[in-house]
Amino acid sequence: MSTLKDIKGIIFDYGGTIDTNSRHWAEVLWSKYVAHQVPVDKESFREAYVFGERALAKYPFVQPGHNFYDVLAIKAKLQMEYLALQKKLPMDEALLQSYATKVADSCYEYVLDVLKVTRPVVELLAKRYKLVLVSNFYGNIQTILKDFGLFTYFDDIIESSVVGVRKPDPAIYKMGVDAMGYDAQDVLVVGDSFSKDVVPAKQVGCRVAWLQGEGWGGEVIDESLPDVIMTDLAQLPALL
């Protein structure tokens, strides 16, 4: 694996990287379904999760002023309504809202705990490197970063719903490199998704630190592709 000692700038992914420190959001949500005894099986949940993500990408449920709790509440409500329509949960509005609120509340608390680990890493690296964020998100990433005290650490933000390009299209990482103003080989990309972060970033010519964790499953993995592999974002500063 190559050295990262000579990099000049860092591109961070957000979801699954800064907010969950390597856990895919589907796994985080499912763990809260289990914790709050939402009576559905995992396959039904996966279908609801995919439905919700597609709906959020297609329709403007999330507005620029929504913070992360708002996003979680909207996601959970969409999932519960889908499960009810599929007859996996009772068509009881009060019950569905109760489940959605419990899941959103506990997911938000989870993120606040994770940020105690990941925010200091971003803060430290912002003192040493130019940072750019590249994220598939809903048009409100700036609100979320401000809410979580992260906004000032990034020199630029490339958000899929704003620029009209989504990962895994390598063009979004090319935008990140252009915003950085360095050669791609001098830029390190940090992300949790092998197919959406590692592969397109390498196609653009960046170096990559893969935050390997609890993924969605089904990806073809080539561990020789990333320059370094981590299991915790807190490991990153020592690698640089």
Taking residues 175-200, what's their average pLDDT? Answer: 97
CA nearest neighbour of 155 among 121, 183, 178: 178
Residue 84 shares a structural domain with residue 103: yes
Residue 1: per-residue pLDDT = 42
- DSSP alpha helices (H): ranges in 2-153? 25-35, 42-58, 68-85, 93-126, 141-147
Q: Indicate the residue among 48, 80, 112 that finishes a domain.
A: 112
Residue 148: per-residue pLDDT = 97
Residue 124 shares a structural domain with residue 219: yes
**Is residue 2 included in any domain, yes or no?**
no
Residue 41 shares a structural domain with residue 79: yes
Q: Indicate the residue among 43, 78, 112 that finishes a domain.
A: 112
Residue 144 shares a structural domain with residue 50: no
Question: Is the predicted pLDDT of residue 125 greater than 50, yes or no?
Answer: yes
Q: Give the model confidence (pLDDT) of 66-82 as tens digits.
A: 999 999 999 999 999 99
Structural domain that includes position 231: 9-23+114-239
- 47 three-state secondary structure: helix
Residue 158 shares a structural domain with residue 58: no
Residue 92 shares a structural domain with residue 32: yes
Please, which residues bridge with residue 135 across strands?
159
Residue 85 shares a structural domain with residue 190: no
Residue 140 shares a structural domain with residue 229: yes
Taking residues 213-231, what's their average pLDDT? Answer: 88
Taking residues 17-24, what's their average pLDDT? Answer: 96
**Number of compact structural domains in the chain:** 2
- Position 57 confidence tier, pLDDT thresholds 50, 70, 90: confident
Assign residue 16 a region: left if phi > 0, alpha if psi is -120 to 50, beta otherwise?
left
Residue 87 shares a structural domain with residue 146: no
**Is residue 4 included in any domain, yes or no?**
no
CATH of the domain at 124: 3.40.50.1000
Q: Indicate the residue among 82, 112, 142 that finishes a domain.
A: 112
Residue 59: per-residue pLDDT = 92
Question: Is the predicted pLDDT of residue 10 greater than 80, yes or no?
Answer: yes
Q: Give the model confidence (pLDDT) of 160-172 as tens digits.
A: 999 999 999 999 9
Residue 175: per-residue pLDDT = 98
Residue 33 shares a structural domain with residue 92: yes
Percent above pLDDT 70 for the chain: 98
- Position 122 confidence tier, pLDDT thresholds 50, 70, 90: very high
- 131 three-state secondary structure: strand
Contact between 68 and 144 under an 8 Å Cβ cutoff? The reply is: yes
Residue 205 shares a structural domain with residue 153: yes
